[in-house]
Amino acid sequence: MSSFLNIYSSKMTQIYSCSKRPLSAEEISQAVGASLDGTQRLLAACSGLQLLNTHQDDGRVLYSNTEQASIYLTRSSPVSLYQSIQYSSRTIYLCWHHLTDAVREGRNQYEKAFGVNSKDLFQALYRSDEEMVKFMQLMNSIWNICGKDAVTAFDLSPFKVICDLGGCSGALAKQCTSAYPECTVTIFDLPKVVRTSREHFFSEGDQRIGFNEGDFFKDPLPQADLYILARILHDWTDERCVELLSRVYKACKPGSAVLLVEALLFEDGSGPLTVQLYSLNMLVQTEGRERTAAQYAALLAAAGFSDIQHHPLKTA
């Protein structure tokens, strides 16, 4: 249901942004070709959700976006969550339909949701080029909102050569080169992701961002002062995380570092609610889970890393 509200409200925001004035339920239902009764009920629910403001006009109710809806739900906003909402409604929720089975079996639900084998997790996620691009757009959207905070929580200026492992669309790499004018960043990802990133997410060549196609579990990792793993470890089991971190540790020179960017559970697991829900999402969708800072520290230590610090993000 919430996906429907989100999609529908984004359509309304387009209408509103064309008209630049609050609209009545009649005008909106005509513009989108929907029933008046259905539109009225939806608009009432959206105003209850504080996505729409209501205005009285000669006994008529008019609707306009709240500030939050304009910022996060309009397609043209630079921090739009439109792609993320689309991916949730068309892909993620289909896995959530099988939550009961996921809990019983303790594993993701690609086979039931999409009829694809999930032995190779990212082959299942990227079951078509179209799905891959949608996933990349999903990954991209969050860093437009909190990417700057993610790369400035620690002072990364001493690290001139950075490798973003599983760097996907390059959104975090762009945040790094913008925050640290002296650094270069290599985006390391699976071959077809790297090719798509180049084609779809970089309009013109950024001299300070390079690309490296490979499998981070198998292929040599590029030399770097800093390795970033953003939302990577939460996809994998503890064993796979230690395997990957051990490969990163071996690639490190003295003075090199690794930066993990992940949503953290409280140490006793009692929250935050969003991260508890993300962890369930990792169950229905991946092989991984969300973890506490101590659990990540244990994975890092098992791979050989010392001097482990963590820092919350302002926008988290």
- Catalytic residue list: 234
Phi, psi of 189 (to 5 degrees): -160, 175
Placement of tokens 């395997």 in the chain? 243
Instruction: Choose between 42 and 95: whose C-beta lies nearer to ligand SAM.
Output: 95
Using rule CB under 6 A, residue 149 touches ligand SAM: no
Using rule CB under 6 A, residue 235 touches ligand SAM: yes
Using CB under 6 A, count the residues that bind ligand SAM: 16
3-state secondary structure (DSSP) of residue 265: strand
Using rule CB under 6 A, residue 211 touches ligand SAM: no
Q: Which of 102, 173, 186, 189 binds ligand SAM (CB under 6 A)?
A: 189
How many angstroms separate the CA atoms of 117 and 230, rounded? Answer: 25
How many angstroms separate the CA atoms of 27 and 15, rounded? Answer: 10
Cβ neighbours around 181 below 10 Å, total: 8
Two tokens, residue 47: 């105003």
Q: Which of 124, 221, 232, 264 binds ligand SAM (CB under 6 A)?
A: 232
Using rule CB under 6 A, residue 193 touches ligand SAM: yes
Instruction: Choose between 149 and 189: whose C-beta lies nearer to ligand SAM.
Output: 189
Name the amino acid, one letter, at 287.
E
For the bound state, the minimum distance from the C-beta of residue 186 to ligand SAM, rounded and expressed in Å, comes to: 12
Burial of 47 (0-12, 13-18, 19+ CB in 10 A): middle
Using rule CB under 6 A, residue 166 touches ligand SAM: yes
Beta-ladder partners of 25: none
Q: Specify the stretch interacting with ligand SAM by CB under 6 A; choose among 3-11, 20-28, 210-218, 298-306.
A: 210-218
| Chain residues in the site for ligand SAM (CB under 6 A) | 122, 139, 166-168, 172, 189-190, 193, 215-217, 230-232, 235
